[in-house]
A and B are shown apart, each in its own frame.
Chain A
Amino acid sequence: EAQVTQNPRYLITVTGKKLTVTCSQNMNHEYMSWYRQDPGLGLRQIYYSMNVEVTDKGDVPEGYKVSRKEKRNFPLILESPSPNQTSLYFCASSPLGQGNQPQHFGDGTRLSIL
């Protein structure tokens, strides 16, 4: 079954404690991206990756890092989380092609930073 898998699904943590949200896809997609969803703001792109070792900033990259060492994985790293990063996060993937826009989303990770 085609899947984008995020872990953890829920996390409550404290300010400054480094955390990583993992994202893995089993469809051999080149393109992967991270979004955050906040009430009244829709989804905003954090980072995206066109392929292994190729990443670029989206609209709201401040406070986040990503890496793409393998095609299937695209972890999101919060080096020093702050309360304004409390949000619902989605990973997405798609094959390269028309528009490259995400076709498959994970089920989301709800982060609470206290």
Chain B
Amino acid sequence: AQSVTQPDIHITVSEGASLELRCNYSYGATPYLFWYVQSPGQGLQLLLKYFSGDTLVQGIKGFEAEFKRSQSSFNLRKPSVHWSDAAEYFCAVGHTGTASKLTFGTGTRLQVTL
């Protein structure tokens, strides 16, 4: 069965510092991989996705993620964090078959200090 691990429950960074959020997945084939962001009281917003091709994926709000098959990872990065990036971030893996199933990680809460 597919699974996603986000090992960091809570991360605090200073505004302007770089950010990396970790995501490891377990899936038998090449997965579809996603990062979502959830601001307080809001639904989830898709930041970026990986289906195939270039392993470095660019998303919205200046985020990027790199798919590393050898490490089963899909870490999210941002070179310079803004206070408005404070939110909860979810990594998810999707089936590559016809079933439309997403499995989410448990999330990483990002706090940004000024």
A90–B44 Cα gap in the complex (Å)?
9
A-B contact pairs, 14 of them (CB 8 A): A42-B4, A43-B104, A45-B102, A45-B103, A48-B101, A50-B100, A90-B43, A98-B32, A98-B51, A99-B32, A99-B51, A100-B100, A107-B41, A108-B42
Partner of A105, one of B43, B96, B99, B101: B43
Chain A nearest CB, measured from B76 CB (Å)? 15
**Provided the pairs A33-B100, A107-B42, A108-B43 are in contact, do residues A101 and B49 lie with their beta carbons within 8 angstroms?**
yes
Contact of A42 among B42, B43, B100, B106 (CB under 8 A): B106
Query: How many of B's residues come within 8 Å of A, CB to CB?
Result: 26
Residues in A with CB closer than 8 Å to B42 are 107-108
CB contact list, A57-114 vs B, under 8 A? 58-59, 90, 92, 98-103, 105-108
B42 — nearest CB in chain A belongs to which residue?
A: A107
Instruction: Mark each residue of chain B from 38 to 63: 1 if its CB lies under 8 Å from any CB of chain A, else 0.
Output: 00011111100101000000000000
Contact B105 A103 (CB under 8 A): no
Distance (Å) between the CB of A4 and the closest chain B CB?
Answer: 7
Q: Please tell me if the beta carbons of A105 and B100 are within 8 angstroms of each other in the complex.
A: no
Give A88 to B70 CA distance when docked, in angstroms.
35
Q: Which of A4, A42, A56, A108 counts the most B-chain CB atoms under 10 A from its CB?
A: A42
Closest to B31 in A: A99
Q: With both chains docked as a complex, state the minimum distance between the C-beta of B109 and any C-beta of chain A, in angstroms.
A: 11
A42 to B91, CA, bound (A): 10
CB–CB B104/A105 < 8 A: no
- In the bound complex, how far is the Cα of B90 from the Cα of A90, in angstroms? 14
Query: Inside 8 A of B32's CB, which chain A residues have their CB?
Result: 98-99, 101
Selected contact of B107 from candidates A33, A42, A48, A103, CB within 8 Å: A42
Q: Which residues of B contact A99 (CB under 8 A)?
A: 32, 49, 51, 94-96, 100
User: Which residues on A sit within 8 Å (CB–CB) of B107?
Assistant: 42
Question: Which residue in chain B gives the minimum CB-CB distance to A107?
Answer: B43
Interchain CA distance A59-B101 in the complex, whole Å: 9
